[in-house]
Every structure is written in structure tokens, then in C-alpha cells.
């Protein structure tokens, strides 16, 4: 149980993932008293166990302005959280295995250019080999986003938490929210371990569990709980700096500075959110391994030492919910990042702080309104 | 340092350690065969480069990793030595990709 | 042969051999999967092929293993040695690698008989070549007739340490010194359990063995601190007796041991609930009287479900097999209970005196909770001090220190650091290990190659081709 002072915060954030911790940090920077209520521990689920990709490349056009703004924060991340979060910027690359795939990439770059964004560019066969010497011979080119990179997820989430904490934010871990209800002008949050908290503002950053919170607020959303799978190898000699994806197949592939190689890309296992548990699907992992076999011949002797899946929330249109509640004043949402929220973490916390302290934000978030699901909502 | 009991029975197996000819008994694991041939260190760690030798002999510690017939990261204690086998000690992560 | 077995048993030690034998004899299609090339597990390692032909070296308890292998061979169970099991799914599909190829093998019931491993004994210098587990030295003796030479020092506590010393002496090998770390106060705490121990079969044998070793080897008791030193390999062992001054012994080989703990990695990765055993100071899977875990269709027999020794493991194997027969619909509850009665009785006998041994040989706190400069995670070379620092920053359990420090993220998957990290965090936080928790272990519990994973076959024909080529 937190000390009495913290049970009267200005803002209660539900969910201690990266977005919740980022919201706590940005709100604390503006002097708000924040309490984060987390059912497990900070970074326990998707935020702590994702692939760590810091990627603008290939994003939905609605996310691009946020992603570009977040990238600026990533490149100065130590100024924000006093830790470099293991962030390294060696670019992200989406490989084309055929001319048709490369044409898709050209069209995408042209579309972004027309919108005024220049971070993605086409790389020809030679440039692809310069960037990724280990790539298989048959690959014809790629789309590249050079300022992209990767960071270490748990370390990042933990750094946001610690910085927020140093500014006065409080974290109640092991506190699963059982009920949220209005109590006059305030929100009352009850947790399974007996916690009772009240604040005028409530933020829902509960990730895969956010749909339940939204439903309690009278705005159910069609959030799907998913479990993207990842696997990692024993240490290998250094051979790859950028993060590599593929155009025609599911892949996210990168080598950490310590030599281990992470293989993912979003193939799904099975999530059992009520038990904090996931099950792997080896048939799909086998497909993932086959993709690596095809694209990186040097990986054929690699050993897989660990595989896992995080628990994450996905929306039907694959973009998140960010913004004020459509039913209740004093409630804000940021969830449903659909397995690509890590890069957005730094900026989403700032947007939430904007909305809470200034009632507006300078970034375009209309596409992420929760009201877009009013017609299709199902009870979560 | 390990030595064979004088009356230990078994068929002799010829193999190589880092290219040098070596001999073992047919039931020996690769890790045991290294000890029997006076090899005291089988790898250096990819983290600090510290030397390591087999520690548990039952497949749980992963300190006996060696290169066997060009395949790296093999648990020496879990693989039986075979005639003609090429065993190489494994140094750091530079060698692991093979 | 079928590819969907009624029963798959994982591990060919006493529990696995006994379970597979009983089930197969009663007509259940059974497969025994084992990582080793020959049956016996660790306790009866190489029982069918040891080059140590003089039976008095390894002792009659060892040769009892042969009594399990014969009936198993005649039982009709399929036996797949050299099979590394790297996963078991909730759907009871076993991921295994054999001769360089990986397969998924379905079963209707699974008995894990994964046994025990030596409790990690983290002292400064324990990563130096020349330092190894006493159990490891015993495996070298059983499988290869190899004994340590030069200056040999044994250090620690527990029955296996003394058994190895006895076997070494029988084999004509030399031991310079035994550094006994059994805390003096353990004797006082164990005394109330002495009566029960006196009624066990161990007392006579154990005393004889102890006296023989003590007669022939210098034993330094009440050792409270240990350190291995050397340049590139161990050259000396620094030790302290009680509050006394440090002393140094030359050593070419240092054999460490302070008990065994259940090998829980596979059970944990399956998602079987586990609990902290305060008496044995280790995590044990939560099982009922039949070894059934919290996961439907998965049971555990033998030391993998809590340390009780080799004889108890046999009986636990038979009980788990009878329960499997019941769950598979082959026998009703009454028949299961009736047939189990003699095995339960035998199990009770075999477990008599266990509490005395657990209490007497409980490792001292200082050896379970090492000093800051000691490496706890051998794979990632993380020290106890780093773990304590992470706790100060707010990491409250092993999964957080794992994510933060990579402690436990190496290929051994926490087998050599897990118990120590749990104890270090619990000690630093001033709470029970039960509250601190344990690693969530991930499949594959043993590494598989990308090639094996990429070529996982799906059809029954493909599975058959791999299992029975």
C-alpha cells in the first residue's frame, strides 16, 4: 500500500508499461502528482519483452507524424530519462526479394514524399549490400529509414519509470485494478490488493487489458489480445547493424551489440491474459526460421536459445487508441498499439500530458479517437 | 587434470583435438575425452574472454561448448566421441558462427 | 510403431525407467525419451556400459540400477535415447531433437522424470577451469573411468560429496583434503529427526562410508569461507575454519558440492506451478500424491518433484504411472489405489530419514548468498553485487534482474544461477524466497539449431521417418 499522500494524486495511470511510464514522466515534468497502478510489475508484458525496434519505417500514414516526433525524442533519450536505454541508430531496412516488391517500396516512398515526409528512401541492390553485407543474393533492393534503430525494451521502460519516480511519481506494483468508478468529480480506482485511490484524472494505458477498463467506462472496444512471438540466438560474430524486415514475409531481424540475434516480426502465438501466459506456435516459428534461413545464409548454423511471446492489444485497424474518452470527462486512453507501440512511447506520454494539462496537443491524433469503434464495438 | 583408471576397459577411438591426433574410449563424451587427453580448457567466454572447462558433465551448465565437425556451440558432455571426429576448442563469439 | 503414444516419459533415471516399465507392461503404448545415449539417468549413469568393471568401486547402490534396466528392456516400451526434449506444449506435444533433426511428438499423458542437478555453489573462482561439481567428477568416473589427479580437494557438504570420496578411495584415486562446510549448528537442528533416521536403512551404510573416508583423508571441518584462485585455472583453494584465519591449499582440481535441487526447467517452461521448499531451500513443482502437476496431462516423478533420492524415485515413478493408467481410462480409481499400496509403503520406507539429511546438510547462508564479488550467473558473468545493485534500483525479483542485467539469460537458462539469484534477492530485500519468485523459463529449454526449427516436419510420415530411421 502506498503512503497516504500518494492516494490523493492529480492523475492515476492504469498500466505500468512504456506508455504508462512515459505519461507519468511527462506529467511529472509538468508538476502533476501521478500514481501509476500496475497489476504485475513495471514492463512485465509487451513493454518489457518486445523486439525493441525503434522504427518509423513502414508505419501507417496516420502514425507517421507521431513517429517522426518520437524519433526526435529517441535521439536525445538520455536527456529525457538519464539513461541511453541501449538505443542505437543504425537504420531499419525492409528488404525486397523481387522487383515487384521493390516497386511496392518505390510507391510507398513516393506516397510519403507527397505528404512531405522524407525519412524513407529506396536502396538499390548495391546499397542494400553495403548496409547488410550478409543478405542473400536474391534480394534486389530495399526501403531504408536511416535514423531508425533499436533499444532495449525493459531497460527503457524501467528508465522511464525511474525518472518519473525521481520527479515524484509513485508506482503501485502488484495492484490489479478491479473497478473504476466516478465518485463526484473524481475517479475512484480499486485494486485487488485492497488499494483505494482517487484522482480527478484517469489514464488508461493498460495494454492488452485496456479493453476491460474502457468497457467499465461505457465505451467497449474490439481489442484483440495477441501474443507476438520472438526468439533469440546464442551470441554470433558481429555481422549486422541495422534492423531488417522483409516486404513479402513476416520478419524482424536484428543483432544486439552483445552478438545475440533476435528473430521476430509478429507471427502470433496464443495469449492467455488471465493467467499472464502465452503459448508458442512452433509451426509458425518454423516458418520464421525458414525466412531467416532464406535471407541470411550465415544464420544456418545458429542456435536458438530462447523463445517467448509478449501479451499485447491489437485494434482491428492496426492503429492505437490515443485521446480523451468519448463518454467520460477526465479520462484519457492510450492503448491498442497493435505490436508496434514501443517507438511511439516517448511521444505518446507527451501527448497525454498535453491533453491533460493543456486540453490540446499539436500533433494530429484524430485518427486514433476511440469513437471510431462506436459502431463495431463488442463487449470486452 | 584427470587420469584413466588403469583397469578401465573399452574400445579405443581415434579423433582430433584442434587438429592434433587424440585417443579416447568408446563410451567417452567429448568433454571426458578432452580431460582424458589433458585438455584443461575447452573455450573462452564471449562475455569476458575468460577460460572455461566442463563443469557439470550432465548437460546443464553449457560451459563445455566446443566445435564438433565444424558445428559450433555443441555441448561436449552430451556428445559421444566418434572415430575421426574433429573437436576444436571454442574461443569467444568469433568462433561460434561456424 | 505409433506416433501418438498414450504415455511419454521424459528421462531414463530410476523414476523414468520404473514408470515406463510399469505402464508398458500393463499394455499402455509408452515411449521413454532420454537425452543420454544409455539408460540410468545421473545416479545410474552408464550402468549398462561403464568401463569401471570392479563392482566394489561404484558400490552396490549403484549396481541396483541394473535391476531397473532389465525389466524396462523387457517391458515393450519404446526407447529413444539421445533425444533432447526442448519443449512440451499444453496440448501435450513434445518438441524434441534427435540426431540433428527436430520433431513434434504428441502424447496423451506425459511423465517428466528430469531428476536433479547439483545446487549451484557460487564461490569466488568457481568458474576457473579445474573447478567442477563433485557430481560431475562422479559422472566422469562412471562413464569413463576417469579420476582427478594431482592435488585434489573436495569441498562442501551432503551425502554425494562423501560418496564420491569413498568411490575415489575405492578406485585408488588420491584426495588431498576434504573441506567440510556443514555448519556446526546443523547437527543441533538435525538431532530431533535422528530417531527417524536411525530407523532408515541409510544409517549403517552411511556411517561406515563416512568413517572409512575420515580414516583415510584429511578432513577440515566447520569451513565458513571458500575461494578458488589461479591464473587461467585453479591453483589453490583459500578457506577459513569458523572465525579463524584464512589458509591456502594447493589444488589442481577442486570438486564442489552442497546438495542437489530439482531440475525444474521443463516443468517451469510448461507452466506447472511451483513452490518454495523451505526445508530443502529450493523451488519444487507443485504436485499431488501421484506427482500430478497443475497442468492437465503432465505429472512429475522422482527428484524433479522434490529431492527424495534414487530409491524413492523408483516408487514415485510407479505411482505416477498408475495414476497415468487411471487418467488414460485403463484402470479405475479403486484399482489404482489398490495397486499403489505396496509402492506407497516402499516410498514411505525410502523417504524415512530424509528430514534428518536435509537438515544436517542444509548449506550455510554464506554459501547460498554469496559476497558481492562472486559471479552468480556463469553464462553472462553477472556478480552477486550487480544483482544487489539492481534490487536497490527497484528490481524486485529474478525476472526483473534478468531483463535488467541479462542474469539468467544465457544458454543454461538459469540452471546454474536461479537458486542463488532467488536467495540473493530475498536476502537483499529481507523477504522470503517464496515472495521473490523464480525465473519464467522459456522454451526451448535446451537450444535447438535454426536448421532444426526451420525443417520441423508436420506430417506423421515425416515424424516417423525421423524417429525410426
CA distance C146 to chain B (A): 4
Residue of B nearest to A235 (CA): B93
State how far the Cα of B92 lies from the Cα of A238, in Å rounded to an integer. 12
Is pLDDT at C1 greater than 80 in this prediction? no
Q: Which residue in A has a C-alpha nearest to residue B46's C-alpha?
A: A235
Angle at Cα C308 formed by Cα C171 and Cα B32, nearest 5°? 35
Given this model, what pLDDT does residue A123 score? 98
Contacts of B51 in chain C (CB under 8 A): 128-129, 232-233
CB-count burial class (<10 Å; 0-12, 13-18, 19+) for A316: middle
Q: Are A223 and A313 in contact (CB under 8 A)?
A: yes
Those residues whose C-beta lies under 8 Å from the C-beta of residue A175, and which sit 6 or more positions away, are: A37, A38, A39, A191, A192, A193, A195
pLDDT at B92: 63
**Nearest beta carbon to residue B2 from set C46, C51, C140:** C140
Task: Return the C-alpha cell found at C64.
Answer: 541396483
Of chain C, the percentage scoring pLDDT greater than 70 comes to 97
Residue C363 has pLDDT above 70, yes or no: yes
**Cβ A303–B93 below 8 Å, yes or no?**
no
Lowest-pLDDT range, A340-344, B47-51, C335-339, C457-461? C457-461
Query: Which residues of C are less than 8 Å from A280 in CB distance?
Result: 87, 89, 443
Q: Which of B3, B27, B58 minimises the CB distance to C149?
A: B3
Contact A251, A231 (CB under 8 A): no
Judged by CB atoms closer than 8 Å, whether chains meet at C54 and B40 is answered as no
Q: Are C379 and C416 in contact (CB under 8 A)?
A: yes
Contacts of C140 in chain B (CB under 8 A): 2, 32, 35, 57
- Residue C144 forms contact with A (CB below 8 Å): no
Interchain proximity B96–A298, CB inside 8 Å: no
Question: CA of B74, closest CA in chain A: separation in Å?
Answer: 10
Nearest residue of C to residue A278, measured between CA atoms:
C271
CB contacts, 8 Å: C117 with chain B: 56, 58, 60
Q: Measured between alpha carbons, how far is C19 from C14 in angstroms, rounded to an integer? A: 8
CATH code of A5-51+154-222+316-379, in short, is 3.50.50.60
Residue range C258-286: mean pLDDT, rounded = 97
CA distances (Å), origin C278, targets C158, C303, C427: 17, 16, 14
Nearest CA in chain B to A305: B73
Strand C448-449 and strand A303-309: the pairing is antiparallel
Inter-chain contact B98–A301, Cβ cutoff 8 Å?
yes
Q: Is the pLDDT of residue C173 over 50?
A: yes
What's the alpha-carbon Rg for chain B, to the nearest Å? 13
Beta-strand ranges (E) seen in C127-197 are 131-133, 146-148, 152-157, 177-180
Please provide the DSSP assignment of A114-134 as one string.
HTT--SEEEE-HHHHHHH-TT
For the record, the C-alpha cell of C167 comes out as 568411490
In DSSP terms, C103 is beta-bridged to C96
C-alpha triplet A16, A284, A142: angle, nearest 5°: 85
CA distances from A7 to A37, A170, A171, A172, A195 (A): 11, 9, 11, 10, 9
Q: Please give the C-alpha separations between residue B86 and each of A125, B4, B21, in angstroms, as whole numbers.
A: 39, 22, 9
Domain boundaries defined on chain B: 12-90
| CA separation for the pair C310, C135 (Å, rounded) | 14
The answer to whether the bond into C444 is cis (omega within 30° of 0) is: yes
For B55-94, the pLDDT digits (tens) are 999 999 999 999 999 988 999 999 999 999 999 999 765 4
From residue C435, give the alpha-carbon distance in Å to each of A35, B93, C31, C427.
Answer: 24, 37, 38, 11
Residues C330 and C283: their CA atoms lie apart, in Å, by 33
**Beta-carbon contacts of residue C176 (< 8 Å; ≥ 6 apart):** C151, C152, C153, C217, C218, C249, C250, C251
A127: Cβ–Cβ under 8 A, 6 or more apart, which residues? A141, A142, A144
CB–CB of C131/C320 below 8 Å? no
User: A16 phi and psi, to 5 degrees?
Assistant: -100, 40
Q: Is A183 on the interface with B (CB under 8 A)?
A: no
Contacts of C396 in chain A (CB under 8 A): 41, 173
CA-nearest residue of chain A to B67? A301
pLDDT attached to residue C467? 53
Minimal CA separation from A101 to chain C, in Å: 24
Is C133 in a helix, a strand, or coil? strand
* A292 close to C (CB below 8 A): yes
The residue whose grid cell reads 518505390 is A106
Which residue of chain A comes nearest to B75, CA vs CA?
A303
Partners of chain B (3+ Cβ pairs below 8 A): A, C
Q: Which of residues 278 through 317 in chain A touch B, CB cutoff 8 A?
A: 298, 301-303
Angle between helices C384-393 and C398-405 (to 10 degrees): 110
pLDDT single digits (tens) A254-284: 999 999 999 999 899 999 999 999 999 998 9
Query: Residue range C265-270: average pLDDT?
Result: 97
Question: Hey, is the C-beta of C248 within 8 angstroms of any chain A C-beta?
Answer: no
Q: Does C448 touch chain A (CB under 8 A)?
A: yes
Q: Which residue has the higher pLDDT, A257 or C467?
A: A257
Chain B residue closest in CA terms to C254? B1
Mean pLDDT along residues C309-316: 97
Lowest mean pLDDT among B8-12, C239-243, C412-416: B8-12
- Report the C-alpha gap between A334 and A19 in whole angstroms: 7
CA distance C182 to C193: 17
Name chain B contacts of C378, Cβ cutoff 8 Å. 55, 61, 63
A259 neighbourhood in chain B, CB within 8 Å: 46, 93, 96
Instruction: Place C201 in a pLDDT band, splitting at 50, 70 and 90.
Output: confident
**Residue written as grid cell 463495431:** A376
C-alpha cell at A290: 525458414
Positions of CATH 3.50.50.60 in chain A: 5-51+154-222+316-379
Angle at the Cα of A129 (from A126 to A132), degrees rounded to 5? 150
**Closest Cα of chain C to A329: distance in Å?**
34
Dig out the grid coordinates for A71 from the structure: 524519433
- Cα-Cα end-to-end distance for chain C: 12
| Confidence grade of residue B9 (pLDDT, cut at 50, 70, 90) | confident
pLDDT tens-digit profile of C290-312?
Answer: 999 999 999 999 999 999 999 99
H-helix segments, C259-332: 265-270, 310-327
> Under an 8 A CB cutoff, do B93 and A235 touch?
yes
Contacts with C172 from chain B: Cβ below 8 Å? 5
CATH placement of domain A92-146+228-309: 3.30.9.10
Chain C nearest CA to A198, separation (Å):
25
Q: Check if A66 contacts C (Cβ < 8 Å).
A: no
The owner of cell 567428477 is: C137
Please tell me the distance in Å from C341's CA to the nearest CA on chain B: 34
Report CB contact under 8 Å: A154, C396.
no
Q: What's the rounded Cα separation, in Å, for the pair A331 and A333?
A: 7
A interface mutation test: which of B52, B79, B90, B93 has the most A CBs within 10 A?
A: B93
Distance from CA of C109 to the nearest CA of A (A): 19
Residues of chain A with pLDDT under 70: 1-7, 376-380
Between CA A106 and CA A224 the distance in angstroms is 32
CB atoms B73 and A303 under 8 Å: yes
Give the nearest partner residue to B53 out of C35, C130, C147, using CB atoms.
Answer: C130
Task: Select the residue from C403, C431, C436 to test the A interface by mutation, using most A Cβ atoms within 10 A.
Answer: C403
What is the DSSP annotation of A331-372? EEEEE-BTT--TTTHHHHHHHHHHHHHHS--SS--GGG-GGG
User: How close does chain A come to C119, measured CA to CA in Å?
Assistant: 22
Instruction: Give B-chain residues touching A303 at CB under 8 angstroms.
Output: 73
pLDDT band at C465 (very low <50, low <70, confident <90, very high): low
CATH top-level class of B12-90: alpha beta
In this complex, which of A41, A302, A308 lies closest to C442 when CB atoms are compared? A308
- Please say whether the beta carbons of C146 and B3 come within 8 A: yes
DSSP string, C63-126: HTTHHHHHHHHTTT-EEETTEEEEEE-TT-EEEEEETTEEEEEEEEEEEE---EEEPP---TTT
Q: What is the mean pLDDT of chain B?
A: 92
Chain A contact for C371 (CB, 8 A cutoff): no
At C462 the pLDDT is 56
Amino acid at each position: 500500500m502506498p503512503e497516504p499522500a500518494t492516494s490523493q494524486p492529480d492523475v492515476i495511470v492504469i498500466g505500468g508499461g512504456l506508455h504508462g511510464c512515459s505519461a507519468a514522466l511527462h506529467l511529472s515534468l509538468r508538476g502533476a502528482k501521478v500514481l501509476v497502478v500496475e497489476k504485475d510489475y513495471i514492463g512485465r508484458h509487451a513493454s518489457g519483452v518486445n523486439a525493441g525496434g525503434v522504427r518509423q519505417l513502414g508505419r501507417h500514414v496516420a502514425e507517421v507524424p507521431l513517429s517522426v516526433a518520437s524519433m526526435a525524442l529517441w535521439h536525445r533519450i538520455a536527456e529525457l530519462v538519464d539513461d541511453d536505454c541501449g538505443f542505437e541508430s543504425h537504420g531499419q531496412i525492409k528488404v525486397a526479394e523481387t522487383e515487384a516488391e521493390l516497386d511496392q517500396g518505390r510507391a510507398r516512398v513516393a506516397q510519403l514524399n507527397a505528404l512531405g515526409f522524407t525519412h524513407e528512401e529506396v536502396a538499390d541492390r548495391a546499397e542494400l549490400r553495403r548496409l547488410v553485407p550478409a543478405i542473400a543474393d536474391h534480394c534486389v533492393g530495399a526501403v531504408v529509414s536511416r535514423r531508425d534503430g533499436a533499444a532495449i525494451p525493459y531497460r527503457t521502460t524501467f528508465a522511464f519509470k525511474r525518472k518519473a519516480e525521481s520527479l515524484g511519481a509513485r508506482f503501485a506494483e502488484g495492484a490489479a485494478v478491479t473497478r473504476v468508478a466516478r465518485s463526484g468529480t473524481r475517479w475512484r480506482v480499486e485494486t485487488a490488493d485492497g488499494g483505494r485511490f482517487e484522482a480527478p484524472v484517469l489514464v488508461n494505458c493498460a495494454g492488452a487489458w485496456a479493453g476491460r477498463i474502457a468497457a467499465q467506462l461505457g465505451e467497449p472496444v474490439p481489442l484483440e489480445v495477441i501474443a507476438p512471438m520472438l526468439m533469440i540466438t546464442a551470441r554470433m560474430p558481429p555481422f549486422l547493424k541495422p534492423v531488417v524486415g522483409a516486404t513479402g514475409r513476416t520478419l524482424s531481424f536484428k543483432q544486439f551489440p552483445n552478438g545475440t540475434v533476435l528473430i521476430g516480426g509478429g507471427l502470433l502465438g496464443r495469449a492467455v491474459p488471465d493467467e499472464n501466459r502465452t503459448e508458442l506456435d512452433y509451426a509458425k516459428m518454423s516458418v520464421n526460421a525458414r525466412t531467416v534461413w532464406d535471407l541470411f545464409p550465415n544464420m544456418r548454423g545458429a542456435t536458438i536459445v530462447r523463445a517467448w511471446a509478449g501479451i499485447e492489444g491489437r485494434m482491428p485497424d492496426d492503429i492505437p487508441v490515443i485521446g480523451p474518452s468519448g463518454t467520460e470527462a477526465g479520462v484519457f486512453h492510450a492503448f491498442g498499439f497493435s505490436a508496434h507501440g514501443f517507438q511511439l512511447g516517448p511521444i505518446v506520454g507527451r501527448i497525454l500530458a498535453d491533453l491533460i494539462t493543456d486540453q490540446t496537443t499539436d500533433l494530429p491524433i484524430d485518427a486514433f479517437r476511440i469513437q471510431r469503434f462506436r459502431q463495431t464495438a463488442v463487449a470486452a | 587434470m584427470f587420469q584413466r583408471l588403469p583397469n578401465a576397459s573399452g574400445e579405443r577411438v581415434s579423433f582430433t583435438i584442434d587438429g592434433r591426433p587424440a585417443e579416447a574410449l568408446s563410451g567417452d563424451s567429448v568433454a571426458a575425452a578432452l580431460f582424458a587427453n589433458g585438455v584443461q580448457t575447452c573455450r573462452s567466454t564471449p562475455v569476458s574472454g575468460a577460460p572455461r572447462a566442463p563443469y557439470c558433465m550432465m548437460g546443464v551448465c553449457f560451459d563445455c561448448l566446443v566445435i564438433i565437425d565444424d558445428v559450433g556451440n555443441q555441448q561436449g558432455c552430451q556428445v559421444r566421441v566418434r572415430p575421426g571426429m574433429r573437436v576444436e576448442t571454442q574461443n569467444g563469439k568469433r568462433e561460434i558462427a561456424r | 510403431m505409433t506416433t501418438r503414444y498414450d504415455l511419454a516419459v521424459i528421462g531414463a533415471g530410476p523414476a523414468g525407467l520404473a514408470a515406463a516399465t510399469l505402464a508398458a507392461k500393463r499394455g499402455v503404448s509408452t515411449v521413454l525419451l532420454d537425452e543420454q545415449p544409455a539408460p540410468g539417468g545421473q545416479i545410474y549413469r552408464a550402468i549398462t556400459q561403464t568401463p569401471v568393471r570392479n563392482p566394489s568401486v561404484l558400490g552396490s547402490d549403484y549396481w541396483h540400477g541394473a535391476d531397473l534396466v532389465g525389466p524396462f528392456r523387457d517391458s515393450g516400451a519404446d526407447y529413444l535415447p539421445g533425444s533432447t526434449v526442448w519443449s512440451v506444449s499444453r496440448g501435450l506435444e513434445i518438441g524434441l531433437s534427435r540426431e540433428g533433426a527436430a520433431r513434434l511428438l504428441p502424447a496423451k499423458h506425459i511423465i517428466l522424470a528430469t531428476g536433479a542437478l547439483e545446487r549451484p555453489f557460487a564461490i569466488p573462482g568457481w568458474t576457473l577451469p579445474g573447478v567442477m561439481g563433485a557430481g560431475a567428477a562422479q559422472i566422469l568416473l562412471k562413464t569413463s573411468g576417469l579420476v582427478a589427479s594431482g592435488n585434489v580437494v573436495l569441498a562442501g557438504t551432503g551425502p554425494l560429496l562423501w560418496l564420491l570420496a569413498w568411490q575415489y578411495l575405492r578406485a585408488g584415486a588420491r584426495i588431498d583434503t576434504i573441506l567440510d562446510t556443514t555448519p556446526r549448528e546443523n547437527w543441533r537442528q538435525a538431532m530431533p529427526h535422528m530417531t527417524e533416521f536411525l530407523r532408515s536403512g541409510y544409517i549403517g551404510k552411511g556411517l561406515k562410508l563416512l568413517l572409512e573416508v575420515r580414516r583415510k583423508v584429511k578432513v577440515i571441518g566447520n569451513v565458513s569461507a571458500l575461494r578458488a584462485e589461479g591464473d587461467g585455472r585453479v591453483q589453490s583453494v583459500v578457506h577459513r575454519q569458523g572465525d579463524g584465519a584464512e589458509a591456502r591449499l594447493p589444488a589442481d582440481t577442486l570438486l564442489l558440492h552442497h546438495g542437489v535441487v530439482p531440475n525444474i526447467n521443463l516443468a517451469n517452461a510448461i507452466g506447472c506451478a511451483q513452490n518454495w521448499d523451505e526445508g530443502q531451500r529450493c523451488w519444487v513443482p507443485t504436485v499431488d500424491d501421484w506427482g500430478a502437476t497443475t497442468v492437465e496431462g503432465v505429472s512429475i516423478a522422482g527428484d524433479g518433484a522434490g529431492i527424495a533420492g534414487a530409491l524413492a524415485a523408483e516408487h514415485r515413478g510407479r505411482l505416477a504411472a498408475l495414476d497415468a493408467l487411471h487418467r488414460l481410462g485403463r484402470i479405475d480409481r479403486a484399482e489404482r489405489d489398490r495397486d499403489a499400496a505396496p509402492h506407497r509403503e516402499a516410498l514411505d520406507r525410502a523417504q524415512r530419514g530424509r528430514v534428518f539429511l536435509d537438515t544436517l546438510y542444509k548449506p550455510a547462508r554464506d554459501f547460498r548468498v554469496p559476497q558481492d564479488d562472486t559471479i552468480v550467473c556463469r553464462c553472462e558473468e553477472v556478480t552477486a553485487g550487480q544483482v544487489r545493485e539492481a534490487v536497490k534500483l527497484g528490481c524486485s525479483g529474478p525476472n526483473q534482474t534478468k531483463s535488467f542485467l541479462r542474469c539468467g539469460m544465457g544458454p543454461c537458462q538459469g540452471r546454474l544461477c536461479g537458486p542463488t539469484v532467488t536467495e540473493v534477492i530475498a536476502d537483499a530485500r529481507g523477504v522470503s524466497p517464496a515472495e521473490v519468485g523464480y525465473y519464467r523459463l522459456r522454451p526451448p529449454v535446451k537450444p535447438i539449431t535454426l536448421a532444426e526449427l526451420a525443417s520441423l516436419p508436420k506430417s506423421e510420415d515425416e515424424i516417423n521417418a525421423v524417429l525410426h530411421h
